[in-house]
Structure 1
């Protein structure tokens, strides 16, 4: 009896998919198809890559804060003379970003 074939298992995050349905004007679909063809991608590949990159950009850009002059000076001082990383900061940097999950 031959040995059982080994099956490479993918992580659950790679095998779970879902569907997104969109209704778009024909002109928009044609524009997307033209751009996808230019870069050698399918419509799905092009749209997913574009949407994912835009989502990452939006999430990164949500870090806006306003400072008065004294706060700005204190902020610049900390940037120029950073304290050693705390355990909380180390944990934060060890976490995956939302787009890496």
Structure 2
């Protein structure tokens, strides 16, 4: 682990945090079913139905995806 951190130019802590985040992202991206309560689902539907903020959308689409 220390060798990997050194090669990456990171501290051991940063290296381990990055590895943990990558694993969490991988796990979430592999999920196909998300269970939420009624309140959160209704909020989700409201967000889907809301008009698109074009500036925010353009900023989002210009960001690099975490898996790239």
**If you compute each CA radius of gyration, which structure gives the higher value, 1 or 2?**
1
Q: Which has the higher contact order (CA 8 A, sep 6+)?
A: 1
Decide which structure has greater helix share. 2
